[in-house]
Amino acid sequence: MRSLFTVSIVCILVSPALAAEGNVARGRQAYRACAACHSLAPDRNMTGPSLAGLWGRKAGSLAGFERYSPALKTADVVWNEASLDPWLADPAHMIPGNRMTFPGIKEAGVRADLIAFLKDATVPGRTAAEPPAASRGGMMGGGPVPNLRRLEPAQRVQAITYCRDTYRVTTADGQTHEIWERNLRFKTDSGGDGPERNAPAILDAGMMGDRASVIFAVPEEISAWIKPGC
């Protein structure tokens, strides 16, 4: 059986996208499909690793990112124009067993544009503005991840009570939000954009406006904040 490296080289040699010169401006728009999971900022990992400094980096090797699959960590792949094209076309085929759920971009021209943008935007020291994420259900409105240290009163949690199947979340604007227990998620964000300790945030989630996430700085805060209250 050929190695993953050999398979990827075969894909590269026959890839039509490599024959086209990508457009950075169009690639910036294409990147919106990636922005919900990948940041361009150094050390800002999200669902996926930061793409800052991507060019020339070995797959699965970014220090500080804890969620690489064994398949990606052991793949003999270095990210550049040649390897990114088959990866963006079909991640599951190029590196079987990886955990990236993105199905791939079938249009060769779109891949070429995206690769051109990534080559430009991920240069070390570059401070590229983050394009807004494409709308995506369940991703806190589909936009970029907000800085939870700078909250509006409507996002600043003051109290959480629980009664039977309902959470009631009171915010700093004086409003109390009644949320079915299955529609409220409790999360943590220990990064630089996460909330201050003992200052959880609430954000809308889902497509119907009936779901929300309360985000804490550390896990041990969660139980301490939820009080019985019928």
Q: Which two tokens stand for residue 68?
A: 């690489």
Strand runs labelled E in the chain: 157-163, 166-171, 176-180, 184-188, 201-205, 211-216, 226-228
pLDDT at 3 > cutoff 80: no
Ranges of H-type helices in the chain:
4-14, 24-30, 70-74, 81-89, 91-94, 108-121, 221-225
CB atoms within 10 A of CB 151: 20
Give the pLDDT score at 46.
Answer: 86
Is the Cβ–Cβ distance between 146 and 193 less than 8 Å? yes
> How far, in Å, CA of 140 to CA of 156, rounded?
15
Which pTM was predicted? 0.65
According to the CATH classification, is domain 4-121 in 1.10.760.10?
yes
Between the two ends of the chain, the Cα-to-Cα distance in Å is 63
Q: Which two tokens stand for residue 12?
A: 């590269």
Least confident of 11-25, 164-178, 179-193: 11-25
Write down the domain spans for the chain: 4-121, 146-228
Q: Which residue has the higher pLDDT, 171 or 6?
A: 171
Give the pLDDT score at 21.
Answer: 82
Q: Which two tokens stand for residue 199?
A: 């200052």
Q: Which two tokens stand for residue 218?
A: 């550390």
**Helix axis angle, 81-89 relative to 4-14, nearest 10°?**
90
pLDDT in tens, 30-69: 999 899 889 999 988 888 999 999 999 999 999 989 889 9
Q: Which residue has the higher pLDDT, 7 or 180?
A: 180
pLDDT at 174 > cutoff 60: yes
Q: What is the mean pLDDT of the chain?
A: 85
pLDDT at 136 > cutoff 90: no
